[in-house]
Amino acid sequence: MHFTDQVTPAAILAELVCHPKAQPEDTEGFCHLKHDRDLCPRFYDKAERILSSFDKYTDITYDIRRPNRGADIVMRYSGTAGPGGEERCIAIQIKSFDEFESDEDFLPEIKAQIEELEKDYGTSLERYVLLLCTEYSKHLNRVRAISDELRANDKVVVAEPHSAWSLFAMDDAMIDAVSDRLIYSRDYVRRQARDEIAGIGKRRLMLLLSCLIEGIEERGGFAVSDDFVMHNSHVQEFEEQYPGGQGSLAEDVTAMEGKFFFREADVDGFEIYQDSVSAVVALYYDAKVRYAHTGDEAVHYLFTFLEQDA
């Protein structure tokens, strides 16, 4: 992995900002969050997670700062793999609901901050990420005006409120999975894992992964009870997120028998064909060692990593 490649921490952050978005009504949660008390610490933790995930694949040094001017958070990193150990920077600026309410036009200030950062950091400034952390419907026109005004600058990424909320609420397992999906995506085991579940469908993928983790962690093998399969909490959560048009869970189980599930005459429940998921199992153990993901976190990590191929 070299910084001359497309995948850098800045590319990962940009991908996370563009990840499946929250609903506009979710952004009402920003109304009660304060800039320094709530937003800066939370996004600081996200920045640290991105850099620590990247650090698990390549030799980098990094630090995260809260500078006095120009940005709320600056991520600085360099690596021996990069040309001459060149340092790169990502600046993050946060605008809260209260700031939208108290300042009718802070766009000139933002543009001045971008110019200041470009002057201070020069070519090492890789991205300027503006997080608009306000209620979407209340400040919609201003949000659109800011996005339109800054769109021409290739270094600027504007996260509108629903995207900013998605990142604010995003758990570590999703950050890790998106990072891993971008870094070394052509790895043989990862390609095999994607091939194993290709075309299965997202709900069946969730069912398979939850059964797999349950079998490995709770039962010490590749078997799960009928009750776990038919009253699966992960599938129930999936159906809440993606309601309608799913068909019945019993139909899913039937469709997956023969390839992923099978029954033994003397076993109460389903067993999983190990050969059908060997690469997925390898991904699970890799995430367990790399990030200590187990249980629900492991299910979420694997689902996020594999869902685009399901």
pLDDT digits (tens, 9 = 90+) for 10-62: 999 999 998 767 888 999 999 999 999 999 999 999 999 999 999 888 888 99
- Bridge partners of 257, per DSSP, are 261
Helix (H) / strand (E) containing 216: helix 202-218
Sign of CA dihedral 167, 21, 29, 239: negative
Using CA atoms, how far residue 141 sits from 22, 65, 113, 297, in Å, is 19, 32, 22, 38
Question: And the tokens for 154?
Answer: 């290739």
Averaged pLDDT score across all residues of the chain: 90
Residue 172 has pLDDT above 90, yes or no: yes
Backbone φ and ψ of 96, nearest 5°: -90, 170
Separation between Cα atoms, residue 25 and residue 18, nearest integer Å: 18
Give the least confident one: 1-15, 51-65, 183-197.
Answer: 1-15
